[in-house]
Chains A and B, each alone.
Chain A
């Protein structure tokens, strides 16, 4: 039962353009969402998060949008840089019922080409 889904295994974008990574979830009890970035042979690195009481959170080049009615969130990276090439995971938590654990999607591998 995949509660968090990233349906695009890979994405290729030109440097300077926008990267949009998508994530869908099924559990309406999730109320906190996070994006992590992972380079090979390293652990995931936290990027940005959003609470369910918001629909947008911005941090520099990274913006996360949350559409609760559609159970969908997206990460926008503008402008994309070659150093952004990595695997991106979205994650969700339900602190009331599932404690602190995070439920991760399968990941999307982003490639930013110069």
Chain B
């Protein structure tokens, strides 16, 4: 296992189309996160899962966005009716949450760059 992988790496779509991205985390990691990054900004949290349970969704995540992690392994992020403002880098990260107070560091994938025309 070489790390977090994301597919596709690049996606160009027309406004109004639906897109779906996939993330495969590090195999033993139980937490999976989605972030979005726009030019000149740091990654912004969208949502995260512990195993198959979606524990939190950011208010940035409109109703057009949905994420799943059906078997607690890979995850998909779908954007319906894309808008030009959705153009960004979508990053996936995973971590191993163990008992204790402090979470472990998150390992990021290479990202999917979305361009909405």
Q: Which of B31, B58, B101, B107 contacts A100 (CB 8 A)?
A: B31
C-alpha gap A9/B4 in the complex (Å): 28
Complex Cα gap A107–B39 (Å) = 11
Using known A-B contacts A89-B42, A89-B43, A101-B56, determine if residue A42 contacts B106 with beta carbons closer than 8 Å. no
Total number of residue pairs linking A and B with CB closer than 8 Å: 69
Binds A, one of B14-22, B69-77, B80-88, B108-116: B108-116
Could you say which residues of chain A place their CB within 8 Å of the CB of B41? 106-107
Is B111 in contact with A99, judged by CB distance below 8 angstroms?
no
Chain B 29-47 against A: per-residue CB contact (8 Å), 1 yes, 0 no?
Answer: 0010101000011111100
Using a Cβ–Cβ cut-off of 8 Å, how many residues does chain B contribute to the interface with A? Answer: 29
Query: When A95-B103, A100-B95 are in contact, do A106 and B40 touch as well, CB less than 8 Å?
Result: yes
Interface residues of A in 36-60 (CB under 8 A from B): 36, 41-46, 49, 51
Give the shortest distance, in Å, between B75 (CB) and chain A (any CB).
14
Is A74 an interface residue, CB under 8 A from the partner?
Answer: no
CA distance in complex: A91, B42 (Å): 9
- Known pairs A42-B110, A43-B111, A101-B48; A106 contacts B42 (CB<8 A): yes
The distance in angstroms between the C-alpha atoms of A42 and B4, with both chains bound, is 12
Q: Which residues of B contact A105 (CB under 8 A)?
A: 42
Cross-chain contact of B4 among A6, A43, A49, A95 (Cβ < 8 A): A43
Q: A102 to chain B: which residues have CB within 8 Å?
A: 33, 35, 43, 45, 106
What does the 1/0 interface line of A81-114 toward B look like (CB < 8 Å)? Answer: 0000000010101010001111111110000000
The verdict on A32 contacting chain B, using a C-beta distance below 8 Å, is: yes
- Asked if B102 and A95 make an inter-chain contact with CB atoms under 8 angstroms apart, the answer reads yes
Whether, in the assembled complex, A64 has its beta carbon less than 8 Å from a beta carbon of chain B, the answer is no
A34 within 8 A of B: yes
Residue interface bits B45-58, CB-to-A below 8 A is 1, else 0: 10010100001101
10 tightest Cβ-Cβ pairs between the two chains A and B? A104-B42, A43-B108, A101-B45, A46-B105, A44-B108, A100-B103, A43-B110, A89-B42, A104-B43, A95-B103
Q: Residues on A close to B: CB < 8 A?
A: 4, 6, 9, 31-32, 34, 36, 41-46, 49, 51, 89, 91, 93, 95, 99-107
